[in-house]
Amino acid sequence: MTAREGFDHAGRFPLAMLWVPMRQGNRDYAMVQQLGAQVQIDKKNEMYVIVSAVSFIPPDMPCPALRENGLCSIHETKPRRCKTMPFTPYREERFQSELLKPRETWLCDISASAPIVYQDRQLLDRTDFDAERAGLLDEVPQMRRYVEYMLKYNPDIRNNLVKSSLSPKAGEVVTSLSSFLTATRQTNKAQIARQQIEVLQQYLEHTAGKSAYKTHHDYYTRSLAEMQFLASRPD
């Protein structure tokens, strides 16, 4: 989701920044070039990286906004990412069909009588799709500044991105909310931090003592310490 949306939901999601690198040759490269930031691999080669705000929770955990009846509790204001999935803004419209192949975890209607959403390589209702892209495009300059900042102060990230771009198994590159708040000079850091503290404390409890959740648990621990500092400091 966009950083704006992340901040709007700072009292709900444990926020982090997710980096997804992509190399030349990928079919989505042209779209990613528009929405991402260029990262030089070496003198001759480059890649593009998409950086977005994410609700950083283990994949097998339910969304905190999910009601017991299986519906979204924030349907009207949920992030555009939730509205447009399984479509993705990082792929051209005409290539989106394969994203509609039902996945095991989907609980929605996938029968033949389900409403048609995509036909003749076009989305039937593009309102949310366009809105999501517009929101991401708006934040491109800010995201590029952030990427530049991270490459300058955390040069190791370049190697992690290269590894991750070569093998999806190398894992996601996740960076901290505090680094984004600093790099982009957010003026309401203390307020966002106060909202995050409660969320992070909850997720620390949910993920305590389970080795499968270690990556997430460690992130919550670090982020909580940073948010506690930011909350204690007037903006």
Cβ partners under 8 Å of residue 103, min gap 6: 86
Residue 182 within binding range of other proteins, rule CB under 8 A: yes
DSSP one-letter string for the chain = --HHHHHHTTTTS-EEEEEEEEETT-TTHHHHHHHSEEEE-SSS-EEEEEEEEEE---TTSPPTTB-TTSSBTTGGG--HHHHHTTS-TTS-GGG-GGGGS--TT--S--STTSPP-EETTEES--HHHHHHHHHHHHTHHHHHHHHHHHHHH-THHHHHHHHHHH-GGG--EEE-HHHHHHHTT-S-HHHHHHHHHHHHHHHHHHTTT-GGGHHHHHHHHHHHHHHHHHHTS--
51 or 230, CB closer to other proteins?
Answer: 230
Residue 235 within binding range of other proteins, rule CB under 8 A: no
Total residues at the site for other proteins (CB under 8 A)? 18
Q: Which of 185, 187, 209, 211 binds other proteins (CB under 8 A)?
A: 185
Residues in 103-162 at the binding interface with other proteins, rule: CB under 8 A: 149, 152-153, 155-156
Judge contact between 179 and 150, C-beta under 8 A: yes
Residue 229 within binding range of other proteins, rule CB under 8 A: yes
152 or 169, CB closer to other proteins?
Answer: 152
Stretch binding other proteins (CB under 8 A), from 11-19, 71-79, 125-133, 227-235:
227-235
What minimum distance in Å lies between the beta carbon of 42 and other proteins?
14
Residue 227 within binding range of other proteins, rule CB under 8 A: yes
Residue 234 within binding range of other proteins, rule CB under 8 A: no
Residue 5 within binding range of other proteins, rule CB under 8 A: no
Residue 174 within binding range of other proteins, rule CB under 8 A: no
Residue 178 within binding range of other proteins, rule CB under 8 A: yes
Residues in 71-90 at the binding interface with other proteins, rule: CB under 8 A: none
What minimum distance in Å lies between the beta carbon of 49 and other proteins?
20
CA distances from 145 to 42, 139, 141, 173, 182 (A): 20, 10, 6, 17, 11
32 or 193, CB closer to other proteins?
Answer: 193
84 or 186, CB closer to other proteins?
Answer: 186
* Residues near other proteins (CB under 8 A): 149, 152-153, 155-156, 176, 178-179, 182-183, 185, 222, 225-227, 229-230, 233
